[in-house]
Amino acid sequence: GAPKFKWSHLWEPAIVNPVNLKSYTIPIFNLRDPYARSFHLSWLGFFVAFLSWFAFPPLIPEAIKSDLHLSAAQVGNSNIIALCATFVVRIVAGPLVDRYGPRKVMACLLILGAIPSGLAGTARTAEGLYVLRFFIGILGATFVPCQAWTSAFFDKNCVGTANALVGGWGNMGGGATFAIMTSLFQTLTHAYGLSTHVAWRAAFAIVPAPILLFVAVLTFIFGQDHPAGKWSERHTLPAAALAVEEGHQIPLDHPEKKSTLSSESKDEKDVEGNAAVSVRPVIAEEDLELVKSTVDVAINEPVTLKTTVKILTNPLTWLPALAYLTTFGVELAIDSKFSDVLFVLFSKKRHGFNQTTAGYYTSILGFLNLVTRPAGGYFGVL
């Protein structure tokens, strides 16, 4: 079974379930471990995506609204369009993750989102802003590979915590962007003397586009598709699981073993050379048998029409979706509009209250995800 939590689990190699190759622990400080790298790349990709996705609202109150001569209705429409794109792309992203794996989908979404982010400065009219924000909204779909990635790497005793951490830390990008973009804009206008017309456009070329491409490259180079190695090998059960299904009982005589997958043989294999992961079983007593059944162990299954219908009709799918709609939907609405509302309400009433001040206050809401989402995952596991 899963080990009890120890602080050393945060930096020691992942303790892996040898049946499904998922980790019982979250070794966030051990970057040499593929489980740790996948964990950090998943939230980092979501973080920079959220930062770029919401890079417009911080600059709307003083810069973009006046430069493009936007009405309140046009600002609202641009916010709605940005969210609509995410709704569409997330539906597409799910099957793509099932087919190609979360690593490739994450990197491709970041690259696709970097293109319109880099072109943000070309907006001259409200219609141009609509088009750009629609395609930048592609970045909102990174939540799908973010969650799928950690779900593939972490076992059921800690997957809720892992998902909550990457979701929360990634979601903080929505807070960071209000602090970063407003500060950058102020620096460009005050320290470098750029006009409002030029400064907000330069800000997009300096932060969102380059950072999206940088993280995409990191994901391609340092990420791993699946604990088994390649995403195409995810349906192949580990040798230990096959032996268990055949009724064999496998004693673990050594604290450390290498386990690998084989698509051509169902015989158990001890691999001392290269393997996808290092399996360190948890043994309560000496000579404890590995497992006696795989009933309570999650294994990746291929997606078919039958399984898709089963998933969609399951209350465990649509009930959380409704909860997500009413909670995260409100958060997105607030992130899109709160800075502009604060600026309108207080810019003329309080001396020194400007776009940057409104952005700093709004960023607090996004930074709350540092605590709120991980707390939800922790209590969900309990």
Stretch (H or E) spanning 189:
helix 173-190
- DSSP reduced 3-state for 253: coil
| Other beta carbons less than 10 A from residue 271's beta carbon | 14
- Closest to 377 in 3D by CA, of 159, 222, 216, 187: 159
Q: Residue 24: is its pLDDT beyond 70?
A: yes
Q: Is the pLDDT of residue 28 over 90?
A: yes
The average pLDDT across 3-30 equals: 90
Position 238 scores a pLDDT of 55
| d(C-alpha 173, C-alpha 55), whole Å | 10
Q: How far apart are CA 89 and CA 307, in angstroms?
A: 21
Q: What is the pLDDT of residue 299?
A: 52
pLDDT digits (tens, 9 = 90+) for 69-118: 999 899 999 999 998 888 889 989 998 998 999 999 999 999 999 999 99
Lowest mean pLDDT among 44-48, 86-90, 209-213, 247-251: 247-251
Instruction: Give 261's pLDDT tier (boundaries 50, 70, 90).
Output: very low
Q: Measure the CA–CA gap between 258 and 361, rounded to whole angstroms.
A: 51
8 Å CB contact between 197 and 77: no
Contact 60, 120 (CB under 8 A): no
Residue 226 exposed, middle or buried by CB count within 10 Å (0-12, 13-18, 19+)? buried
pTM attached to this predicted model: 0.80
What percentage of residues in the chain have a pLDDT greater than 70? Answer: 82
CATH node for 27-230+309-381: 1.20.1250.20
Mean pLDDT of 221-241: 77
Residue 363, amino acid = S
Please say whether the beta carbons of 168 and 369 come within 8 A. yes
Domain boundaries, the chain: 27-230+309-381, 236-299
269, two tokens: 């294999």
Tell me the average pLDDT across 122-139: 95
Question: Which DSSP string do the residues of 323-362 spell out, in sequence order?
Answer: HHHHHHHHHHHHHHHHHHHHHHHHTTTSTT--HHHHHHHH
Give the pLDDT confidence score for residue 294 in this predicted structure. 40
Beta strands in the chain (DSSP E): 257-259, 277-279
Q: What is the spatial distance between Cα 184 and Cα 202, in angstroms, rounded to a whole number?
A: 9
Q: Looking at residue 21, what is its pLDDT?
A: 87
H or E element, residue 110: helix 102-118
Average pLDDT over every residue of 357-372:
91
Q: What is the pLDDT of residue 237?
A: 53
| Token pair of 274 as six digits | 């290269």
Question: What average pLDDT does the segment 227-247 reach?
Answer: 65
Residue 90, number of CB atoms within 10 A of its CB: 16
Reduced DSSP (H G I as helix, E B as strand, rest coil) percent helix, strand, coil of the chain, to 5? 65, 5, 30
Q: What is the pLDDT of residue 275?
A: 41
**Is pLDDT of 50 > 60?**
yes
Q: Is 165 a residue whose pLDDT tops 90?
A: yes
**223 three-class SS:** coil
Name which residue leads in pLDDT, 179 or 241: 179
Instruction: Report pLDDT for 296.
Output: 47
* pLDDT score recorded for residue 18: 84
Note the pLDDT of residue 308.
81
Query: How confident is residue 29, by pLDDT bands cut at 50, 70 and 90?
Result: very high
Residue 260 has pLDDT above 50, yes or no: no
285-330 pLDDT, tens digit per residue, is 433 344 443 444 555 566 678 888 888 889 988 898 898 888 888 8
Q: What is the pLDDT of residue 347?
A: 86
Contact 110, 45 (CB under 8 A): yes
Q: What is the mean pLDDT of residues 18-44?
A: 93
Helices (H) and strands (E) counted in the chain, each on its own, are 15, 2
Q: List all residues 6 or more positions away from 30 whose beta carbon is below 8 Å from its beta carbon.
A: 10, 11, 12, 13, 14, 36
In this predicted structure, what is the pLDDT of residue 245? Answer: 55
The rounded distance, in Å, linking the Cα atoms of 74 and 65 is 9
Mean pLDDT of the chain: 83
pLDDT at 169 > cutoff 90: yes
Which of 192, 185, 129 has the alpha carbon at shortest distance from 357?
A: 185
Average pLDDT over residues 217-223: 95
Instruction: Say if strands 277-279 and 257-259 run parallel, antiparallel, or are unpaired.
Output: antiparallel
Cα(299)–Cα(155) distance, integer angstroms: 10
